[in-house]
Amino acid sequence: MRSRLRVAEEESTWHEGKFLIFDDSFEHEVWHNGTGIRLVLIVDVWHPDLTLQKRRSLTAI
Check if the beta carbon of residue 4 is closer than 8 Å to that of residue 31. yes
| pLDDT value, residue 61 | 64
pTM of the predicted structure, to 2 decimals: 0.66
Rounded CA-CA distance 3/16 in Å is 10
Which residue segment(s) compose the domain that 18 sits in? Answer: 3-57
* Domain count across the chain: 1
pLDDT digits (tens, 9 = 90+) for 42-54: 888 888 999 999 9
For 58, the enclosing helix (H) or strand (E) is: helix 52-59
pLDDT at 60 over 90: no
